[in-house]
Chain A
Amino acid sequence: MRITLYGTRGSLATPGPETVRYGGNTSCVEVRGEDGTVLVLDAGTGIRRLGATLGPEAGRVDVLLTHLHMDHIQGLGFFRPLDQPGQEVHIWGPPSTTLHLSARLGRYLSPPLFPVRLRELPCRLALHDVPLDPAGFQIGTLRVCAAHVCHPGPTVGYRISEGGVSIAYIPDHEPMLGATRLAGADWISGFDLAAGVDLLIHDSQYSAVQYPHHVGWGHSAIPHVLEFAARTGATRLVTFHHDPRHDDAALDALVDEARNSAALPFEIVPGTEGARFDLASH
């Protein structure tokens, strides 16, 4: 399984000379299976560049949305496979109790916010409520499990497995909401998604100083992420969904502080745009 980060920024695209290393594009990650299966995790502004790498040989493309906040769907209209006649594209999103995924996405992909409607796209598009069955579902050689996590509005995280290796992608997550410490494992939001994964890509939006001013906004402070990663037994933690106020220097400082805060039982990797991780099947 090969994982490439195309957008690591949270909330708002933040291009500029001060963010060139961590990147300014919002959430988008490509996961490629051994058989060439392509999964796209979220459709933030990073998806435009990802889409440019996908030619007709890519075959079916599946876009897995964690939720429908703007920073996770804003790039969708610029995802090249959607403009390719006959290209098979599947978009999966969290179920809603009121509206189908097409109606919710259509709020953005329609005038006046966007000139083209979903139904006018030339590709072969299928929209799905993502199954929440803990057993997951199969896309190519990749096993996908989705589960709700703590974040305002219906939001899921994903666990993707292949050949004995697994990753968890939880870009927007506030497991410490209303808690001063994480409870038992069965009471921790996102625990089953992240338990024992080889790579955990997780919300790391705030510093410890910032978090008290943003309780309930649906994001984590770095110390929360460290505790979550330790409790779930992840092997590597990739910091993700960086706050737009954090430039490269600030993010370096946060990662350094995290590394020096304690003897971490996992490796911490700064989530930088373009970073690639190859996980060899066991």
Chain B
Amino acid sequence: MPQKAVELILMRQLASYLAMPILMFDPDGTLLFYNEPAEVLSGRRFDETGEIPFEEWSSTVHATDDDGTPLPFEVRPLGIALLKRQAAHRKFWAQGADGIRRKFEATAFPLEGQGGRHLGAVMILWEAPS
């Protein structure tokens, strides 16, 4: 497996020190890394799972609006960051691997590396009062 860009390595190191859930994705939506606070969504430690393909990740976490209507990927902050390469913020409900629905605020932003390389996106979550 080729080495990750140094910008991703530094981002992972920062994420591993922060106390809010942070998830890092490559441009194809593969979940590259998530920190310990984000394990509530995946239900497993990153050391156990390693990278998680987009299909597997999206089938584990179900995002809905207040009415319970599923949110299409392209309107979620992560989808906007990856597909449009724009920062985005939104509240939504998410049910993780533990089956519990939680209301989150999510901020996602694209990672643009040196030389114009699109490296993926980062999503930061805050559990919102429901």
Q: What residues of chain A have their CB less than 8 Å away from a CB belonging to chain B?
A: 94-95, 97, 132, 134, 147-150, 154, 177-179, 183-192
In contact, A150 and B9 (Cβ under 8 angstroms): yes
Answer whether residue B85 sits at the interface, using C-beta atoms and an 8 A cutoff.
Answer: no
Partner of A186, one of B2, B7, B14, B17: B2
In contact, A191 and B3 (Cβ under 8 angstroms): yes
Answer whether residue B10 sits at the interface, using C-beta atoms and an 8 A cutoff.
Answer: yes
In contact, A186 and B1 (Cβ under 8 angstroms): yes
CB-CB nearest in chain B for A131: B115
Set of chain B residues within 8 Å of A183, measured between Cβ atoms: 12
What secondary structure prevails in chain B residues at the interface with A? helix
In contact, B4 and A178 (Cβ under 8 angstroms): no
Q: Nearest 6 pairs between A and B by C-beta? A: A178-B13, A148-B6, A192-B3, A186-B1, A191-B3, A189-B9
Q: Tell me, in angstroms, the Cα distance from A272 to B112 when the chains sit together.
A: 40
Q: Interface code B111-127, partner A: CB below 8 Å = 1, 0 otherwise?
A: 00011000000000000
Given contacts A134-B2, A148-B6, A187 and B12 within 8 Å (CB-CB)? yes
Set of chain A residues within 8 Å of B13, measured between Cβ atoms: 177-179
In contact, B3 and A186 (Cβ under 8 angstroms): yes
Q: Tell me, in angstroms, the Cα distance from A189 to B2 when the chains sit together.
A: 11
Q: Tell me, in angstroms, the Cα distance from A147 to B16 when the chains sit together.
A: 24
Answer whether residue B71 sits at the interface, using C-beta atoms and an 8 A cutoff.
Answer: no
Answer whether residue B5 sits at the interface, using C-beta atoms and an 8 A cutoff.
Answer: yes
Q: Interface code B1-33, partner A: CB below 8 Å = 1, 0 otherwise?
A: 111111101101110110000000000000000
CB distance from B76 to the nearest CB of A (A): 26
Set of chain A residues within 8 Å of B10, measured between Cβ atoms: 150, 177-178
In contact, A132 and B115 (Cβ under 8 angstroms): yes
Q: Tell me, in angstroms, the Cα distance from A150 to B17 when the chains sit together.
A: 17
| Chain A to chain B contacts (Cβ below 8 Å), 13 pairs | A95-B114, A148-B6, A149-B6, A177-B10, A177-B13, A179-B16, A183-B12, A185-B1, A186-B1, A186-B2, A187-B3, A187-B12, A192-B3
CB distance from B74 to the nearest CB of A (A): 29
Set of chain A residues within 8 Å of B5, measured between Cβ atoms: 148
CB distance from B26 to the nearest CB of A (A): 12
In contact, A192 and B2 (Cβ under 8 angstroms): yes
CB-CB nearest in chain B for A132: B115
Q: Tell me, in angstroms, the Cα distance from A177 to B11 when the chains sit together.
A: 11
In contact, A178 and B16 (Cβ under 8 angstroms): yes
Set of chain A residues within 8 Å of B14, measured between Cβ atoms: 178
In contact, A95 and B115 (Cβ under 8 angstroms): yes
Given contacts A148-B7, A179-B13, A132 and B2 within 8 Å (CB-CB)? no
Set of chain B residues within 8 Å of A187, measured between Cβ atoms: 3-4, 9, 12
Set of chain A residues within 8 Å of B115, measured between Cβ atoms: 95, 132
Set of chain B residues within 8 Å of A132, measured between Cβ atoms: 114-115
Q: Tell me, in angstroms, the Cα distance from A167 to B3 when the chains sit together.
A: 18
CB distance from B67 to the nearest CB of A (A): 40
CB-CB nearest in chain A for B1: A186
Set of chain B residues within 8 Å of A149, measured between Cβ atoms: 6
CB distance from A167 to the nearest CB of B (A): 18
Set of chain A residues within 8 Å of B9, measured between Cβ atoms: 150, 187-189
